[in-house]
Chains A and B, each alone.
Chain A
Amino acid sequence: MKLAYWMYAGPAHIGTLRIASSFKNVHAIMHAPLGDDYFNVMRSMLARERNFTPVTASVVDRNVLARGSQEKVVDNITRKDAEEHPDLIVLTPTCTSSILQEDLHNFVERAQLEAKGDVMLADVNHYRFNELQAADRTLHQIVQFYIEKARKKGELPQGKTEKPSVNIIGISTLGFHNQHDCTELKRLMADLGIEVNTVIPEGACVKDLQKMPQAWFNLVPYRELGLTTARYLEAQFGTPYVDITPMGVVETARCIRKIQQVINAQGADVDYEEFINEQTLYVSQAAWFSRSIDCQNLTGKKAVVFGDNTHAAALTKILSREMGIHVVWAGTYCKYDADWFREQVSEYCDEVLISDDHGEIGDAIARVEPSAIFGTQMERHVGKRLDIPCGVIAAPIHVQNFPIGYKPFLGYEGTNQITDLIYNSFTLGMEDHLLEIFGGHDTKEVITKGISAESDLNWTKDGLAELNKIPGFVRGKVKRNTEKFARDRGIKDISTEVLYAAKEAVGA
């Protein structure tokens, strides 16, 4: 047992449901007790879905506990098949059904005899995988199912498309800015003269999955979702995949160069250097921003980054490499894929933090007192408490992170959006700082942050007044440094003089 108040990644079935409900005309039936269909609320509320979420529950109640589901699951599947005629029904296990250990495979087989559509059991163990891993597995499972089905029927299309083409893998419902990213990627592909063969799972039809082998390559924009599928397609059809997230100017260029290499190897003759150059210098504003005076002022400012692998890694690189910001630590909650994260970011930050305990993250933020945080909604709230601005860069997210306006994180427009996000976070901090310097806020008598209760040191009135003039976001650190300085030298009363002596001693 573990005491938990907050979790970064949801339970496994959420991942499966995200995949199933991203496809068109796929229905998921959860084997779950009443109330576990909360996914529908999230999709309807957060994503503001106009359509009913294609997820229903085959309710586990006392009768099911006593006698087993018996006909219930099968009936629910065949009923849904008759009502909605979905192409595929995905039976989704939950934590409850994991422990009931009913033979869901058997139910699926029996239901398949009657159902006109396909029926499948999501092969996900609740206690071993989280939302992200489950989504990745389910997507692979569905793709494999339809590729094999087509192969058996001899309907698998042969050969590649005439022009270079791509499958974009991993765009899903409730994903962080996924819809906007998808539009941006399609636009980028169009600019590069690459046809989009399929986009999965969002908006895709399962019947289209058999077309996937016709693409020249697969693009997997997010680390968490789609890699297993891309590897499967590579193993089956030798389709190469590009898994460089085009987030930030440098990474977008790297992604495009990789695409160039991959399609030239298959006989295309393209040179994207001119395009990259044009976009970087004149279309995206991010490169120019890095050179501008605004960004100069950010040099050496401290930031921390926390999120999923994709976004935290990309943001860390952007902050450090493209803006000269000092990333004190970068962290991820994708513990199962921590090695990749470490390898990606270690040269761009002082320290790497792998944890899914929000308390540990909160403490790490309080310890380093950065000028800005880039994290999830949880870090935003930590920031609120500590008076540090925060830009939200990854799930878990709230309804305000599903903007209606066009806000991709990927591609060249994405670089512009991220620049705004980063700069706005820091300016807020700077404004706050200026207000404090000119006494715009009420003078705070008590220093609430980072105070050590058992301090035997005494701040004199003028010392304290001087300390309060120091901008909020560095005050705690100055206070601690001064106290350390005083303690080391056996000074009991800290006056203005001591404060500045300490400052000089540290050379800050």
Chain B
Amino acid sequence: MTVAQQPEALNFECETGNYHTFCPISCVAWLYQKIEDSFFLVIGTKTCGYFLQNAMGVMIFAEPRYAMAELEEGDISAQLNDYEELKRLCLQIKRDRNPSVIVWIGTCTTEIIKTDLEGLAPKLESEIGIPIVVARANGLDYAFTQGEDTVLAAMANRCPDQAPVAETDKNERNAIQKLLNFGKKKEEVAQEESEYVDHPPLVLFGSLPDPVVTQLTLELKKQGIKVSGWLPAKRFTELPVIEEGYYVAGVNPFLSRTATTLMRRRKCKLIGAPFPIGPDGTRAWIEKICSVFGITPKGLDEREAQIWESLEDYVKLIRGKSVFFMGDNLLEISQARFLVRCGMIVHEIGIPYMDKRYQAAELALLEKTCKEMGVPLPKIVEKPDNYNQVQRIYQLKPDLVITGMAHANPLEARGINTKWSVEFTFAQIHGFTNARDILELVTRPLRRNNNLKDLGWDKLVKEEAKI
């Protein structure tokens, strides 16, 4: 069977960058929960505070370990001394919360007034005795999930560069390991070690919920691969050792600065693989890591097939349907690749920023998947223009639009199904185990429609669309 005429390679475009996304400071919402002994101080204005307060919803009431250092007119006009002001606030945080690290999030305002956060931090750090990590996660430079990238890139520089030699030290550093081994005899521990193939140390990077960390770690263990550490760890004091020559692999598509830092500053070798999103991605991710270490993967065929089988009831709902990504969180390429494998047709992949080197393997897999499934290669639109996109959506009439909340209700009112993209960043979507969760989200509007289909209420606006 010959495949219908289609472009040979992926088509990249770049629009105006007039699109809706979350401000990258939103990364504090999930990172403060992930890194349990941290405190995030966002140095910005009321605008930043208002965004966080509203975007984080009920989390705000749970006395989160984050706060605004709200800049006042005196700070802007330099009538107040930055250093003294930050010192006052950080001492207050130290007194009230006693964190192991304070992360300063630089914002648009600190960029424009050129506050030298990187310069102030080491000085203040030695004065108050708490590590201060600076991440410039601002809306001038970055979108949404890239905030995590800037924080992890800064954290990468804080990872210890030498594995402690003495056994006792090792135990102290690796508190979790100690807990897991609690009660086991020495021989048993040694036996456990022997379950792994002898390979150079591997450190994974990307913040994931703890259950997903466990799942992916176990998935690699099945192949005899040991995960020496994870950036970030549950606690700042448990950041992994990263020595020159270690191997690193990313679990999320938006971590290009972290990858660069690990390669250039920490002299690590990056394993460029597709990301473990969807069973196809997870398998490709494991295979790539195995191939780097010269391991022949075992049992992946069956594992993948078994997962696909369990997804069939959901895949049935979306097979042959079309999807349009407006783009706001950089997960789009991996998601699109998975959905193509599920039998969907992808019209357009909007994406805030496209690092073709870091995502190379993922892009190659997308291209390969499209060819294998016999669907046209999607258009990848970097820095999209939401207005233009909405016009294209009206023309293409996709079955599903994956978009931000600003457009979701207005599109629904015009009879276009939407899925709110931010949910993908907070849901567990990595590994074999969570493939169903992605489809649970993707199919939800379609399942809702099946329930309401006889009611005939699909277009609920009187006038023409306006943005």
The reply to whether B61 and A381 contact each other, CB–CB distance below 8 Å, is yes
Q: How far is the CA of A5 from the CA of B405 in the complex (A)?
A: 24
Q: How far is the CA of A4 from the CA of B44 in the complex (A)?
A: 11
Taking the complex as formed, is B178 at the interface, i.e. its CB lies under 8 A from any CB of chain A?
A: no
B86: chain A residues at CB < 8 Å are 1
Taking the complex as formed, is B449 at the interface, i.e. its CB lies under 8 A from any CB of chain A?
A: no
Closest to A58 in B: B18
Report the minimum CB–CB distance from A56 to chain B (whole Å): 6
A11: chain B residues at CB < 8 Å are 45-47, 50
The reply to whether B413 and A38 contact each other, CB–CB distance below 8 Å, is no
Closest to A399 in B: B57
B390: chain A residues at CB < 8 Å are 52
Q: How many contacting A-B pairs (Cβ < 8 A)?
A: 170
Q: How far is the CA of A100 from the CA of B109 in the complex (A)?
A: 9
A37: chain B residues at CB < 8 Å are 20, 406
Among A27-72, those with CB < 8 Å from B are: 32-38, 40-42, 44-45, 48-54, 56-57, 59-62, 65
Q: How far is the CA of A40 from the CA of B409 in the complex (A)?
A: 11
Report the minimum CB–CB distance from A47 to chain B (whole Å): 9
The reply to whether A5 and B140 contact each other, CB–CB distance below 8 Å, is no
The reply to whether A40 and B406 contact each other, CB–CB distance below 8 Å, is yes
- Among the 9-residue stretches A91-99, A239-247, A451-459, the one with 4 or more Cβ atoms under 8 Å from chain B is A91-99
- Among the 9-residue stretches B63-71, B225-233, B335-343, the one with 4 or more Cβ atoms under 8 Å from chain A is B63-71
Q: How far is the CA of A61 from the CA of B141 in the complex (A)?
A: 6
Q: A60-B108, A61-B140, A84-B467 are in contact. Are A5 and B407 (CB under 8 A)?
A: no
Closest to B388 in A: A83
The reply to whether B70 and A1 contact each other, CB–CB distance below 8 Å, is yes
Q: How far is the CA of A3 from the CA of B91 in the complex (A)?
A: 11
The reply to whether A96 and B112 contact each other, CB–CB distance below 8 Å, is yes
Closest to A398 in B: B57
The reply to whether B50 and A33 contact each other, CB–CB distance below 8 Å, is no
The reply to whether B409 and A49 contact each other, CB–CB distance below 8 Å, is yes
The reply to whether A45 and B405 contact each other, CB–CB distance below 8 Å, is yes
Q: How far is the CA of A99 from the CA of B76 in the complex (A)?
A: 8
A56: chain B residues at CB < 8 Å are 18, 387, 467
Report the minimum CB–CB distance from A484 to chain B (whole Å): 28
Report the minimum CB–CB distance from A77 to chain B (whole Å): 13
The reply to whether A1 and B404 contact each other, CB–CB distance below 8 Å, is no
Taking the complex as formed, is B131 at the interface, i.e. its CB lies under 8 A from any CB of chain A?
A: no
Q: A35-B144, A45-B409, A49-B409 are in contact. Are A100 and B112 (CB under 8 A)?
A: yes
B139: chain A residues at CB < 8 Å are 32-36
Among A61-116, those with CB < 8 Å from B are: 61-62, 65, 76, 83-84, 94-96, 99-100
Per-residue CB contact flags for chain B residues 27-65 toward chain A (1 = under 8 Å, else 0) read: 000000000000000010111011101110100110010
A60: chain B residues at CB < 8 Å are 108, 140
Report the minimum CB–CB distance from B408 to chain A (whole Å): 7
B409: chain A residues at CB < 8 Å are 44-45, 48-50
Taking the complex as formed, is B89 at the interface, i.e. its CB lies under 8 A from any CB of chain A?
A: yes
Q: How far is the CA of A61 from the CA of B19 in the complex (A)?
A: 13
The reply to whether B80 and A1 contact each other, CB–CB distance below 8 Å, is yes
Closest to A49 in B: B409
Taking the complex as formed, is B125 at the interface, i.e. its CB lies under 8 A from any CB of chain A?
A: no
Taking the complex as formed, is B240 at the interface, i.e. its CB lies under 8 A from any CB of chain A?
A: no
Taking the complex as formed, is B3 at the interface, i.e. its CB lies under 8 A from any CB of chain A?
A: no
Per-residue CB contact flags for chain B residues 86-113 toward chain A (1 = under 8 Å, else 0) read: 1011001100000000000000110111
B112: chain A residues at CB < 8 Å are 65, 96, 99-100
A51: chain B residues at CB < 8 Å are 410, 413, 461, 463, 465-466
Taking the complex as formed, is B73 at the interface, i.e. its CB lies under 8 A from any CB of chain A?
A: yes
A10: chain B residues at CB < 8 Å are 46, 50
Per-residue CB contact flags for chain A residues 393-413 toward chain B (1 = under 8 Å, else 0) read: 000101000000000000000
B351: chain A residues at CB < 8 Å are none
Taking the complex as formed, is B254 at the interface, i.e. its CB lies under 8 A from any CB of chain A?
A: no
The reply to whether A34 and B47 contact each other, CB–CB distance below 8 Å, is no
Q: How far is the CA of A35 from the CA of B109 in the complex (A)?
A: 14
Closest to B138 in A: A33
B408: chain A residues at CB < 8 Å are 44
The reply to whether A36 and B23 contact each other, CB–CB distance below 8 Å, is yes
The reply to whether B405 and A41 contact each other, CB–CB distance below 8 Å, is yes
B466: chain A residues at CB < 8 Å are 51-52, 54, 84
Q: A35-B144, A53-B406 are in contact. Are A7 and B50 (CB under 8 A)?
A: yes
Report the minimum CB–CB distance from A86 to chain B (whole Å): 9
Chain B contact patch, size range: 35 or more
The reply to whether A35 and B51 contact each other, CB–CB distance below 8 Å, is yes
Q: How far is the CA of A45 from the CA of B138 in the complex (A)?
A: 24
Closest to A33 in B: B139
Q: How far is the CA of A1 from the CA of B45 in the complex (A)?
A: 10
The reply to whether B111 and A38 contact each other, CB–CB distance below 8 Å, is no
Closest to B422 in A: A41
The reply to whether B54 and A42 contact each other, CB–CB distance below 8 Å, is yes
Taking the complex as formed, is B219 at the interface, i.e. its CB lies under 8 A from any CB of chain A?
A: no
The reply to whether A65 and B18 contact each other, CB–CB distance below 8 Å, is no
Taking the complex as formed, is A126 at the interface, i.e. its CB lies under 8 A from any CB of chain B?
A: yes
Q: How far is the CA of A130 from the CA of B22 in the complex (A)?
A: 22
Q: A13-B47, A95-B46 are in contact. Are A38 and B410 (CB under 8 A)?
A: no
Closest to A57 in B: B18
A57: chain B residues at CB < 8 Å are 18
Closest to B89 in A: A3
B76: chain A residues at CB < 8 Å are 99, 127
Closest to A396 in B: B53
A100: chain B residues at CB < 8 Å are 112
Q: How far is the CA of A128 from the CA of B76 in the complex (A)?
A: 13
The reply to whether A95 and B410 contact each other, CB–CB distance below 8 Å, is no
Q: How far is the CA of A384 from the CA of B62 in the complex (A)?
A: 11
Report the minimum CB–CB distance from B83 to chain A (whole Å): 11
Closest to A380 in B: B61
Q: A11-B45, A50-B413 are in contact. Are A1 and B75 (CB under 8 A)?
A: yes
Q: How far is the CA of A398 from the CA of B18 in the complex (A)?
A: 28
Q: How far is the CA of A378 from the CA of B108 in the complex (A)?
A: 28
Closest to A381 in B: B61
B54: chain A residues at CB < 8 Å are 38, 41-42
Report the minimum CB–CB distance from A3 to chain B (whole Å): 5
The reply to whether A5 and B60 contact each other, CB–CB distance below 8 Å, is yes
Closest to A84 in B: B466
A128: chain B residues at CB < 8 Å are 73
Taking the complex as formed, is B282 at the interface, i.e. its CB lies under 8 A from any CB of chain A?
A: no
Q: How far is the CA of A96 from the CA of B140 in the complex (A)?
A: 10
Report the minimum CB–CB distance from A369 to chain B (whole Å): 20
Taking the complex as formed, is A441 at the interface, i.e. its CB lies under 8 A from any CB of chain B?
A: no
Taking the complex as formed, is B180 at the interface, i.e. its CB lies under 8 A from any CB of chain A?
A: no
Per-residue CB contact flags for chain B residues 396-438 toward chain A (1 = under 8 Å, else 0) read: 0000000011111110010000000000000000000000000
Per-residue CB contact flags for chain A residues 217-249 toward chain B (1 = under 8 Å, else 0) read: 000000000000000000000000000000000
The reply to whether B49 and A7 contact each other, CB–CB distance below 8 Å, is yes
Of the candidates A48, A83, A95, the one whose C-beta lies within 8 Å of that of B47 is: A95
Q: How far is the CA of A437 from the CA of B80 in the complex (A)?
A: 56
The reply to whether A44 and B407 contact each other, CB–CB distance below 8 Å, is yes
The reply to whether A1 and B89 contact each other, CB–CB distance below 8 Å, is yes
Closest to B409 in A: A44
Taking the complex as formed, is A418 at the interface, i.e. its CB lies under 8 A from any CB of chain B?
A: no
The reply to whether A49 and B47 contact each other, CB–CB distance below 8 Å, is no
Q: A83-B387, A95-B109 are in contact. Are A7 and B46 (CB under 8 A)?
A: yes
Per-residue CB contact flags for chain A residues 459-478 toward chain B (1 = under 8 Å, else 0) read: 00000000000000000000
* 10 new A-B contacts at CB < 8 Å, known A35-B51, A59-B18: A1-B71, A11-B46, A36-B23, A36-B47, A36-B139, A41-B404, A41-B406, A60-B140, A84-B466, A95-B109
8 shortest interchain CB distances as A-B pairs: A35-B23, A33-B139, A40-B406, A50-B413, A1-B85, A11-B46, A35-B139, A95-B45
Instruction: Give the A-binding residues of B (Cβ under 8 A).
Output: 17-25, 43, 45-47, 49-51, 53-55, 57, 60-61, 64, 66-73, 75-76, 80, 85-86, 88-89, 92-93, 108-109, 111-113, 138-144, 387, 390, 404-410, 413, 460-461, 463, 465-467
A-B contact pairs, 8 of them (CB 8 A): A33-B140, A35-B139, A35-B144, A36-B47, A59-B17, A84-B466, A95-B47, A126-B47
